[in-house]
């Protein structure tokens, strides 16, 4: 078995992938043609140019434009099923999909309709592709108090059956303006039993990670790569083993690192931090979950056991039922023990 074969066969979970960001080029083209006048290109060549990001704010604008294509319940479900299909082709078994209800709210989709679409899509994803889908509702961090209220209201009053977490994404530099609103939203979500899985330390420094740890009760952190600038924070993350959901190609495409070789993935692991490997917005960044494992192998020289351990980390850090975790861990162990 070659290393590529091993990566393809490795059972994987995806803990950091966005609903709209998971849309493949054919899906986006279909939606753009379905909803003309959106500003999103309707030819493949133009769309690929559209996806060439200059920096994170530019990425956020492109993401918002694609997000605005999600106008009907059918659009919501189509994206979930597309992700399940793509993951199944890569050995993906489970995903915690980050959904931004505020985006559907601003185009007038009722909460109940969105929830019904998510529920239906999760059932179909398992039945048609063998991929289990859970959901994380996230606040778009640059939109403030109203976005926090809408996201929380949907999570508490009309949650999809598979809702497991509450998060926040978007432009981290904007969050301090709305600090109290975001802290209050996370407190209410956690009180309702949702897991806290915010982004932090992607495009800002350790201060954002401290904020989500100390005031959002973060149980997992999206990205977190800039923790390395603060030795005290590194020590805290090592001690608590709060997982960092790391997305190397995403960080390159949004300008957080200059070269893929500069990514801190190896150092995060050397420091004893808990790391999972994820794709973030795979079609937008020209990657897949399997490709992120290939980056770890090709760029950083990770072998079979290191790749298997990253896969195990993802399973353990997930909110899967315990029996499903154990079944997947057994599959990973069996594959890792097979003759190379």
* pLDDT score at 339: 87
| pLDDT mean across residues, the chain | 94
Catalytic residues: 202
Q: Which residue has the higher pLDDT, 97 or 65?
A: 97
pLDDT tens for 152-169 read 999 999 999 999 999 999
Query: 244: which 2 tokens?
Result: 């960092």
Please report which confidence band the pLDDT of residue 12 belongs to, taking 50, 70 and 90 as the band edges.
very high
Average pLDDT over residues 235-259: 96
Please report which confidence band the pLDDT of residue 235 belongs to, taking 50, 70 and 90 as the band edges.
very high
The pTM assigned to this predicted structure is 0.94
Average pLDDT over residues 95-109: 94
Residue ranges per structural domain of the chain: 3-337
H or E stretch covering 310? helix 304-317
In b/e form, how buried is each residue of 229-244, taking b as 16+ CB within 10 angstroms? ebeebbebbeeeebbb
For β-strands 199-200 and 195-196, DSSP reports them as unpaired
In b/e form, how buried is each residue of 174-212, taking b as 16+ CB within 10 angstroms? ebeebeebbbebbebbeeeebbbbbbbbbbbebebbbbb
**Contacts of residue 148, Cβ cutoff 8 Å, sequence gap at least 6:** 139, 178, 181, 182, 184, 185
Query: 91: which 2 tokens?
Result: 């050995």
pLDDT tens for 263-321 read 999 999 999 999 999 999 998 888 999 999 999 999 999 999 999 999 999 999 999 99
With beta carbons less than 8 A apart as the criterion, state whether 321 and 327 touch. Answer: no
pLDDT at 177 over 80: yes
pLDDT at 340 over 80: no
pLDDT tens for 78-96 read 999 999 999 999 999 999 9
Angle at 95 between CA 266 and CA 208, to 5 degrees: 55
| Residue with the two structure tokens 């805290």 | 236
Average pLDDT over residues 238-267: 96
Angle at which helices 144-157 and 111-129 cross, to 10°? 60
Let me know if domain 3-337 sits in CATH 3.20.20.140: yes
* pLDDT score at 50: 84
Query: 223: which 2 tokens?
Result: 């990205």
In terms of C-beta distances under 8 Å and separation of at least 24 residues, what long-range contacts does 208-216 make, across chains too? Answer: 208/172, 208/175, 209/233, 209/237, 211/175, 211/179, 212/168, 213/242, 215/179, 215/183, 215/186, 216/168, 216/182, 216/183, 216/186
* pLDDT score at 61: 81
């Amino acid at each position: 078995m070659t290393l590529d074969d091993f990566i393809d066969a490795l059972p994987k979970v995806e803990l950091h992938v966005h609903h709209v960001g998971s849309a493949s080029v054919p899906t986006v083209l279909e939606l753009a043609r379905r909803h003309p006048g959106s500003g999103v290109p309707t030819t493949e060549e133009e769309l690929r140019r559209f996806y060439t990001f200059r920096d994170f704010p530019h990425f956020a604008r492109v993401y918002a434009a694609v997000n605005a294509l999600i106008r009907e319940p059918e659009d919501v479900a189509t994206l979930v099923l597309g992700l399940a299909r793509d993951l199944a082709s890569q050995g993906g078994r489970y995903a915690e999909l980050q959904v931004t209800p505020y985006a559907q709210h601003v185009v007038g989709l009722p909460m109940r309709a969105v929830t019904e679409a998510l529920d239906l899509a999760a059932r179909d994803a398992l039945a048609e592709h063998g991929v289990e889908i859970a959901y994380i509702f996230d606040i778009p961090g640059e939109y403030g108090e109203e976005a926090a209220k809408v996201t929380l209201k949907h999570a508490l009053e009309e949650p999809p059956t598979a809702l497991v977490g509450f998060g926040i994404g978007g432009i981290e530099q904007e969050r301090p303006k709305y600090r109290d609103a975001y802290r209050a939203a996370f407190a209410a979500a956690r009180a309702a039993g949702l897991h806290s899985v915010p982004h932090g330390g992607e495009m800002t420094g350790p201060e954002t990670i401290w904020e989500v740890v100390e005031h959002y009760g973060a149980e997992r952190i999206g990205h977190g790569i800039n923790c390395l600038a603060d030795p005290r924070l590194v020590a805290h993350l090592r001690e608590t083993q709060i997982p960092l959901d790391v997305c190397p190609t995403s960080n390159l495409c949004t300008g957080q690192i200059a070269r893929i070789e500069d990514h801190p993935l190896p150092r995060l692991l050397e420091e004893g931090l808990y790391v999972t490997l994820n794709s973030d917005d795979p079609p937008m960044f020209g990657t897949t979950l399997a490709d992120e494992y290939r980056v770890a192998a090709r760029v950083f020289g990770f072998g079979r056991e290191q790749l298997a351990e990253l896969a195990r980390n993802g399973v353990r850090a997930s909110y899967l039922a315990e029996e499903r975790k154990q079944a997947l861990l057994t599959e990973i162990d069996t594959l890792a023990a097979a003759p190379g």
